[in-house]
Amino acid sequence: MSPSFFVFVFSVFVLSFSTYAQSVVDMKLIQGGTYLPLYGVDSLTVKVNSFYMDEYPVTNEEFQEFLKKNHKWQKSNIKGLFADANYLTEWNDDSSLPLNANLNAPVTNVSWFAAKNYCDCLGKRLPLLDEWEYVAMADEKKRDARTDTNYNQYILNWYESPKSFNKQIGSTFRNYWGIYDLHGLVWEWTIDFNSVLISGESRKDVDKDSNLFCGSAAVGATDLMNYAAFMRYAFRGSLKAKYSVKNLGFRCAKDVEPVKR
């Protein structure tokens, strides 16, 4: 083969690596492992592969830039199939926030469809539920702080504070993995947000109102005293992909690219 061929292959490899490296800027590498989730049955643990996660949730300013380039996700253009009437409800128009809005606060009132597309456009994805929970069980020093009463109380205290969504990113602690704001600002979408709980559809919609924070969230729970985690699962189980909620935002994740030999 000619030298020019090898130069071409090397150039493609460098470009590919450079693009991948740029895509994980402001992300943290999460080393994989196993954990026992709230919904675990018979003490079965779940394996989580290594992945990258955004250090902070996506901000109003970042989503504003996304809307300028992706007009179909602006609130005057988005189809009802992909967002309810609350989508970006507090924005002045398709790409501008109220004057008193905090540009560095997490974007909220965004549907799962819009959040997923935002991450897709960056070559990323929404985190899996198990990935999110795996990272969120860490406090500042320990990978798993779920048995720490003070840690769980901190999370529960936040659940009682309804106006944290307008605070600046980075307002909460930096956890073991270097991730901020998993607890303390907003709830966050995951790619499989309602994959665990029993929904109204699975009960054949006998009682549609029971979709919201339904008691069935406790089915199969391994630790019913872990109310902090229970509340997250219950909240996720109350959602549908088109819902846009005032205290619900998102961040992106990304697979670890395998080493090419």
Place of tokens 């128009």: 93
Instruction: End-to-end CA distance of the chain: give it in Å, rounded.
Output: 19
What are the domain boundaries of the chain? 3-255
Strand-strand pairing, 253-255 and 51-54 = antiparallel
pLDDT at 135 over 90: yes
Please give the structure tokens belonging to residue 233: 């699962």
191 — pLDDT class (breaks 50, 70, 90): very high
pLDDT at 122 over 90: yes
For 34-61, the pLDDT digits (tens) are 998 877 655 688 999 999 999 999 999 9
For 93-114, the pLDDT digits (tens) are 888 888 888 999 999 999 999 9
Cβ neighbours of residue 258 closer than 8 Å, sequence gap 6 or more: none
Higher pLDDT, 194 or 173: 173
Give the single-character DSSP code of 255. Answer: E
Q: Are 2 and 27 in contact (CB under 8 A)?
A: no
Residue ranges of the alpha helices (H) in the chain?
Answer: 3-23, 60-69, 112-121, 129-136, 149-159, 227-237
The predicted model gives 180-207 an average pLDDT of: 72
Strand-strand pairing, 51-54 and 46-48 = unpaired
Q: What does the mean pLDDT of the chain come to?
A: 82
| Per-residue pLDDT at 156 | 86
Q: CA–CA separation, 122 vs 253, rounded Å?
A: 10
| Per-residue pLDDT at 12 | 37
Q: Which CATH class is domain 3-255?
A: alpha beta
For 79-97, the pLDDT digits (tens) are 999 999 999 999 998 888 8
Classify the C-alpha dihedral 187-192-193-195 as positive or negative: negative
Helices then strands, each counted (H, E), the chain: 6, 7
